[in-house]
Structure 1
């Protein structure tokens, strides 16, 4: 935890950008009956029944100090999907010496995944572009990409959407608007505050 918080307090450096990455499933849900549109004095009405149309995966990467994020929607969350998303991240930071990537400990989030997606030369070249910063187990709340995913859900995806094409269209519009607004995250949790609020997590040392 303290290693992650140390990364967050670093000043902005375009050569070593701090990027947070996370992923989340989204159910595709269709209406079984045509909704009744809103009228004066009456809200729109939807039937409680719905039809599941599968799921899609939302990959989110954001650079909190700049107010920039990148979202990709896929059908799977396998090693190959994660590695290809990181390739996209690397392409967004071609001038960076090394990308500090904050993420959780999901089993696909490890160097070997590059070798499932690319030949060894390309896999090693991509791997060298990143420095992985893992959040602790049960500490994924330290990942600021989770904040972005919650904002995305609240502002864009908190409703029934039945196709991955529609999800991609809606998310692309949200991403463009939020990036144009340079929406940043003001992270205030520090090691000093952690040692007070999360004192129970620290070992007790007997003199």
Structure 2
């Protein structure tokens, strides 16, 4: 006879923000390749700054799905809005465990006030100071910087915002789930 066991259903999210993503526009059109002179497209060193955006991202450590919010700032209120978006996305989960660094917005009065409205819904796990590399979301930021943001030229903040959301949608169409190869019993701790 099988007994049913009530196992709590949790969501595990690795979160961080990437502030100051610049929307930079060319001053003149790119120069096309020219035999013997330019082997690839080149561009003038001058540019026009069109503003910056802030990206708040969470990656689901079980499914690889990415939740993102692009805003003009990264203040306490934007973080609370991001938590509300996570809460809405994981309606079916009992608890949401969020892995964070030590940014002040995560422990602000505004954040604590919101967390009091949803008691026991979120559990924050803070990584050690100077240990941001321990947060898996940093790998996503590195990949994004190398593939999408590197040398990007765009005419406005709105177009940059659209490009960021399109990039995240493309990743969510085929998410990659990180699988740890080492077992906890095999790890040596000094």
Shared fold, TM over 0.5: yes
Q: Give 3-state SS (helix, strand or coil) of 1:17's partner.
A: strand
Higher helix share: 1
Identify unmatched segments of 5+ residues in structure 1: 1-12, 200-207
CA distance in 2, matches of 1:149, 1:85: 17
Report the counterpart of residue 153 of structure 2 in structure 1.
Answer: 160
- From 39, 59, 64, the counterpart of 2:61: 64
Cα separation, partners in 2 of 1:193 and 1:160, compared to 1, 3 Å: farther
- From 13, 16, 22, the counterpart of 1:19: 13
Range with greater deviation from structure 2 (31-40 or 157-166) = 31-40
How many residues of Structure 1 are paired with residues of Structure 2 in the alignment?
179
Q: Please give the TM-score of this superposition, normalised by the length of structure 2.
A: 0.83
Q: Please give the TM-score of this superposition, normalised by the length of structure 1.
A: 0.77
RMSD, matched Cα = 2.4
Cα separation, partners in 2 of 1:142 and 1:42, compared to 1, 3 Å: same
Identify unmatched segments of 5+ residues in structure 2: 1-6
Report the counterpart of residue 31 of structure 1 in structure 2.
Answer: 26
- From 126, 134, 137, the counterpart of 1:134: 126
Report whether the alignment pairs 1:143 with 2:135. Answer: yes
- 1:36-71 CA-partner distances (Å, limit 9, x unpaired): 234678311111112222211011110122110012
- From 100, 103, 112, the counterpart of 1:103: 100
